[in-house]
Structure 1
Amino acid sequence: MTAVTPDSFVDDRLAKRNALLLALAQALGGASASIVIATGPLAGYMMLEEDKSLATLPVSAMVLGTAFGTIPAGMIMRRFGRRAGFMGAALLGVLSGLLASYAMFRDEFLLFSLALCMGGLAGAFVQQYRFAAADTASDAFKPKAISWVLAGGVLAGIVGPQTVIATKDLFEPILFAGTYLAQAGLALVAFCLLAFIRIPIPPRQTHAQAGGRPLRQIMAQPRFIVAAACGICSYALMSLVMTATPLAMIACGLSENDAALGIQWHVLAMFGPSFFTGNLIARFGKERIVSIGLALLAGCSIVALMGVELAHFWTALVLLGLGWNFGFIGATAMLTDTYRPEERNLVQATNDFLVFGFVATASFSSGALLNVFGWGTVNVLVFPFVLLCLGLLGWLVVAERKAVTTA
């Protein structure tokens, strides 16, 4: 790939091509994540003989792997480029699926969790797809490029759960062993697709140029603080409720297929709006779309607290996905306003480290909260964090308007 100056990075034709390829890769990476979400807690529950509150540990291990992988992912791609980093991570995803399947055959809970942690490391690179799509995009096209990539999750919402349903009994009586072999195959296809992306590598700069502003200065910006907080809450609250849902559904007498189909509707709701979320952001503003997303997250908990029938679970999961889409994409778009081109890798990696650190905590806590306090408590915890983020958004809007007035 040819080195270019940051000014020549802007190329919407290239950005559209990359966004389409990354959307397809996102479909496969997202399918792997939905497979883990739908099966990880159930597999953990089956493997554990005593403390069932640890059943969500495999999903938490995946998220923790993503959190720990974010900063190394940024450093690797800054040194070797986006394509090399993405392709290497896809191979790690193949290894993760193979090891998880082996762990299922051996009935080894810790090895299974380790395999999903490796998948999480690969997922740290997948999370950078949305930023990579914006690398060569103009300011006007950036929100659309981000939403295009996340729209690839619509296909993931079908591929992942249907893969679970089709392969969960492939090696009966060892449930889900075939599913993780299929996950390895999906990662291998993603590897082939990623070979075709083209994102120019910036030339080497002086130390001062390459570093940009100090990270502390960037993070002190009110807009960074609010964008990071809203991104964290949108993703962590979604993870808290989503991770507990399959276990809650089984506990209420519903089947594994009901749980898998519920996750399918959830993932479709997560990524389906991405076809037009970018347009909504351009028309109504980032802050307003984030606010709508937070309100939908609260709506999810309201529905979940109304009953434990299949319709309640599925409706809540759809609202949860919609809330994540508006909240997280809006917060991501807000974040792109806070850094310069030479600062992007460090800031993006730092943001994702914060987001997935909290997401890991939420997913791990969900199992214990469900086991000890029940499904209602899991949902009630959503409300105070939604109110906090809405307050921060209101504060930011007022502060920026005052800054414009006094300028």
Structure 2
Amino acid sequence: MRKNLWLLAIAQGLFLTNNVVFIAINGLVGLALAPVAWMATLPVMGYVVGGAMSTGLVARSQRRWGRKTSFQLGLLVALLTALLCALALYLRSFWLLVAGTVIAGYYSANGQLYRFAAAELAPPSFREKAVSLVLAGGLIGAVIGPNLANHTREAMAAPFLASYLALSVVALVSMAVMAGIRFPPEPKQAAGAGGGRPLGEIMRQPVFIVSTLGAALGYGVMNLLMAATPLAMDVCGMPFSDVALVLEWHVIGMFAPGFFTGHLIKRFGVLPVMGAGVVLNLACILIALSGQDLHQFLVALFLLGVGWNFLFHRQHHAGDAGLPPGRKGQGPGGDQLRGVRDDGADVLRLGCAGDDAGLGAAEPGLAGAGAADRCGPAVAGPAPSPRGARRRCRADLSRGGPGCSSRVWCAHDECLP
């Protein structure tokens, strides 16, 4: 079990390596190739939108072939699209570069599921630590990604051509790592069990709405500033080594808090931690607006990373509490609702990263049918729930507990004793 988790943590780090390099270089390469400057962030947008558009396809592949095969397929896409982006840069084809990043979004949609697969590789008593361990693997990407982009920038005639080729090597290493992981078989749905409540009904729950808004705010502000920062620093005349340093500390801010945010949630609750994420986002914006020196970029992006951690990953706890017991990550089928909450919310936060960098472009922004709800007759009719039971359930959720998971789930998201 521990071996599988460590390998998955390495795969997560390599996934973040790919993401950080893409964020670091796609805007700058786009600026060099775009027919007009305001289009510079379209390659960054393509990667995010491609990931959101791929969630349904990833869902079907996970259900049909399981975790491992689907993850390896995503890595194959990562390999081919890295080569396609290198070809686009070599040919100086802007639209081929955009197409390559959109297709690469399929790998992003797969990689977003690594943290959920971690829970399946550990016993229930170790699942929270297992997810934290795999998320902490992102620190590998925090160090390797920016430095890889920096040291390969001038390795070939065209700037960043070697960076894309290096990502193809990263994809091959990831495929070797993934080959060593043994995932448990997907849980089988009981005979005669229904498909669970309609997705729309679950999405109307207040806890789901709050978690979606948290994801949209955390991911939206982060991607907007992440896309704009390399361009803004380039416009300010800073060397790319400074860009790499800022992005390195940004990604450290994203994943290093994973070692202790679980304890904060248990002590203060989910919503207070998400509120702290909002405050950190506001502090990031104020610092970013205060000047154009290196330390201002560095501190602003670090706070942005920590705020994203509190908002984006902590809403995962709140959002899961809004799912019936049969849909809380029980195999690949349990990821559909998280995808709606995560990647779906990401598409809603289209911003103007190029404009913020002084250029003028738009920068935007999981899977499965799910196991059957174990609701019994409670789903069939709107049986009223005692007010005290609701209070106990919500109080438990606010402290980061399982909420209603130990009680019978009824049709309108309330709990029966």
TM-score range (shorter-chain normalised) is 0.7 to 0.9
Distance 2:294 2:392 in 1: 42
Other-structure match for 1:381? none
Question: CA separation of 1:208/1:279 partners in 2, compared to 1, >3 Å: closer, same or farther?
Answer: farther
Does residue 24 of the first structure (1) align with residue 18 of the second (2)?
A: no
Does residue 69 of the first structure (1) align with residue 54 of the second (2)?
A: yes
Q: 1:351 aligns with which of 338, 349, 354?
A: 338
Distance apart, 1:92 and its partner CA: 0.8
- Secondary structure of 2:41's match? helix
Other-structure match for 1:147? 132
Question: CA separation of 1:353/1:369 partners in 2, compared to 1, >3 Å: closer, same or farther?
Answer: farther
Matches within 5 A, 1:245-260: 245-260=229-244
Which residues of structure 1 form unaligned runs of 5+?
1-13, 379-395
Distance 1:314 1:340 in 2: 41
Distance 2:47 2:147 in 1: 21
Higher deviation after alignment, 246-255 or 197-206? 197-206
Aligned residue identity for 1:118: I
Distance apart, 1:256 and its partner CA: 1.9
Other-structure match for 2:394? 400
Distance 1:337 1:267 in 2: 27
Distance 2:254 2:201 in 1: 33
- Secondary structure of 2:286's match? helix
Higher helix share: 1
Deviations 1:29-66 (CA, angstroms, capped at 9, x unpaired): 100000010111110001124x2111110010000111
Distance apart, 1:79 and its partner CA: 2.0
Percent identity over the alignment is 35
Question: CA separation of 1:397/1:166 partners in 2, compared to 1, >3 Å: closer, same or farther?
Answer: farther
Does residue 367 of the first structure (1) align with residue 351 of the second (2)?
A: no
Other-structure match for 2:255? 271
Query: Does structure 2 conserve the Cα–Cα contact (< 8 Å) formed by 1:60 and 1:360?
Result: no
The two structures have a TM-score, normalised by structure 2, of: 0.81
Question: CA separation of 1:32/1:340 partners in 2, compared to 1, >3 Å: closer, same or farther?
Answer: same
Q: Which has the higher contact order (CA 8 A, sep 6+)?
A: 1
Distance 1:61 1:137 in 2: 35
- Secondary structure of 2:50's match? helix
Which residues of structure 2 form unaligned runs of 5+?
364-389, 397-412
- Secondary structure of 2:193's match? helix
Greater Rg by CA: 2
Distance 2:359 2:156 in 1: 33
Distance apart, 1:23 and its partner CA: 1.1
Other-structure match for 2:289? 305
Distance 2:351 2:192 in 1: 40
Other-structure match for 1:8? none
Matches within 5 A, 1:277-356: 277-340=261-324, 342-343=326-327, 344=329, 345=332, 348-356=335-343
Compute the RMSD of aligned alpha carbons: 2.8
Query: Does structure 2 conserve the Cα–Cα contact (< 8 Å) formed by 1:54 and 1:368?
Result: no
Other-structure match for 2:374? none
Aligned residue identity for 1:293: G
Other-structure match for 1:95? 80
Distance apart, 1:188 and its partner CA: 1.0
Question: CA separation of 1:150/1:75 partners in 2, compared to 1, >3 Å: closer, same or farther?
Answer: same
Q: 1:54 aligns with which of 23, 39, 45?
A: 39
Other-structure match for 1:386? none
Query: Does structure 2 conserve the Cα–Cα contact (< 8 Å) formed by 1:67 and 1:354?
Result: no
Paired residues, number = 371
Other-structure match for 1:158? 143
- Secondary structure of 1:273's match? helix
Q: 1:33 aligns with which of 10, 19, 37?
A: 19
